[in-house]
């Protein structure tokens, strides 16, 4: 694919693995130039860039802590310098610690809040300032805000904040022709989801949805691609992408 002034440009935070990688590769397959963001694993981000460029797409890797406003401003600057602007921002970056609320380590909760809430606000703030007309901002929540699984209380608290931000930012973007939505995945076969779960737990969750399987990163990337592309009349919404679980 040839890069031109009309090529749309996407920045995917957390783009080095799992849902982020699938999203970066899907948006590239849809014809976008993609910035693959990483926080700590530059080598893995460069693998995603190589996968995209070897297929004829355009991609770069950019680093930085999503909760650090200076680092993210620099990352956005780098994307604009490389591609001339930004049309789509997808914030998949997040961390998860599971524990009953009565036993939740508050330092772990603070770390989740820093990445999942502050990080979302930092990325959304840069996106709100920079995304071009006709663009899209896609944030990430979780289906557990509906299913209320035990041990997810601290994590769900951070993701409920994301869902609250979405309609507010959508209204604040009035007149800009930029949509703001969130994707809320259900159980999805990623390292973040599978970590610490027994085979029985995974099998039980796989059977919970009517489709009787776990989601795949590509399933979630398809929902992001919809919101990033043709879904111009979907705005201020959280799209629950969970196979009918909730």
Reported pTM: 0.96
Lowest mean pLDDT among 107-121, 135-149, 195-209: 195-209
Backbone phi, then psi, for 112, in 5-degree steps? -60, -45
Confidence of residue 23 (pLDDT cuts 50, 70, 90): very high
What pLDDT, on the 0 to 100 scale, is given for residue 190?
A: 86
Residue with token string 């959280």: 238
* Spatial separation of the C-alpha atoms in residues 50 and 48, rounded to whole Å: 5
* Spatial separation of the C-alpha atoms in residues 7 and 86, rounded to whole Å: 10
What pLDDT, on the 0 to 100 scale, is given for residue 17?
A: 84
What pLDDT, on the 0 to 100 scale, is given for residue 196?
A: 76
* Spatial separation of the C-alpha atoms in residues 166 and 235, rounded to whole Å: 9
What residue ranges do the domains of the chain occupy?
9-188+218-234
The number of CA neighbours under 13 Å toward the Cβ of 13 is 32
Confidence of residue 195 (pLDDT cuts 50, 70, 90): confident
CB atoms within 10 A of CB 53: 14
Tokens of residue 243, six digits: 């196979």
The number of CA neighbours under 13 Å toward the Cβ of 35 is 28
Burial of 132 (0-12, 13-18, 19+ CB in 10 A): middle
CB atoms within 10 A of CB 43: 9
Query: Using one digit for the tens of pLDDT, what is the confidence trace for 73-129?
Result: 999 999 999 999 999 999 999 999 999 999 999 999 999 999 999 999 999 999 999
Q: Are strands 59-63 and 33-38 parallel, antiparallel or unpaired?
A: parallel
CATH of region 9-188+218-234, choose from 3.40.50.970, 3.40.50.300, 3.40.190.290, 3.40.50.720: 3.40.50.720
Give the helix/strand (H/E) hosting 168.
helix 153-172
pLDDT over 80 (residue 192): no
- Residues labelled catalytic: 155
Instruction: Please report, for residues 9, 46, 77, 138, 231, the alpha-carbon distance to residue 141 in angstroms, rounded to integers and kept in the order given.
Output: 23, 26, 26, 10, 18
Query: Using one digit for the tens of pLDDT, what is the confidence trace for 33-68?
Result: 999 999 989 999 999 999 999 999 999 999 999 999
What pLDDT, on the 0 to 100 scale, is given for residue 115?
A: 98
Lowest mean pLDDT among 119-123, 125-129, 133-137, 187-191: 187-191
Paired strand residues for 12: 36, 90
Residue-averaged pLDDT of the chain = 96
What pLDDT, on the 0 to 100 scale, is given for residue 2?
A: 86
Rounded-to-5 percentages of helix, strand, coil across the chain:
50, 15, 35
> Average pLDDT for residues 30-34, to the nearest whole number?
98
pLDDT over 90 (residue 217): yes
């Amino acid at each position: 694919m040839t890069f031109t002034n009309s090529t749309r440009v996407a920045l995917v935070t957390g783009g080095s693995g799992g849902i982020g990688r699938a999203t970066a590769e899907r948006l590239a397959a849809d014809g976008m130039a993609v910035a693959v963001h990483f926080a700590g694993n530059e080598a893995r981000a460069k693998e995603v860039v190589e996968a995209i460029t070897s297929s004829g797409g355009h991609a770069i890797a950019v680093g930085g802590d999503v909760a650090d406003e200076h680092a993210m401003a620099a990352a956005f600057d780098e994307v604009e310098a490389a591609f001339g602007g930004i049309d789509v921002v997808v914030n998949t970056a997040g961390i998860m610690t599971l524990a009953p609320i009565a036993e939740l380590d508050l330092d772990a909760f603070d770390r989740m809040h820093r990445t999942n809430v502050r990080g979302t606000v930092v990325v959304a703030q840069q996106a709100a300032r920079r995304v071009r007309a006709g663009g899209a901002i896609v944030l990430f929540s979780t289906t557990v805000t509906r299913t209320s699984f035990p041990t997810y209380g601290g994590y769900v608290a951070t993701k409920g904040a994301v869902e609250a931000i979405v309609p507010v930012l959508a209204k604040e973007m009035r007149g800009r022709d930029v949509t703001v939505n969130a994707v809320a995945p259900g159980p999805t076969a990623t390292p973040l989801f599978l970590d610490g779960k027994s085979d029985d737990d995974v099998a039980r969750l796989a059977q919970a949805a009517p489709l009787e399987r776990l989601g795949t990163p590509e399933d979630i990337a398809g929902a992001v691609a919809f919101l990033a592309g043709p879904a111009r009349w979907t705005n201020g919404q959280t799209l629950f992408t969970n196979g009918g679980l909730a």
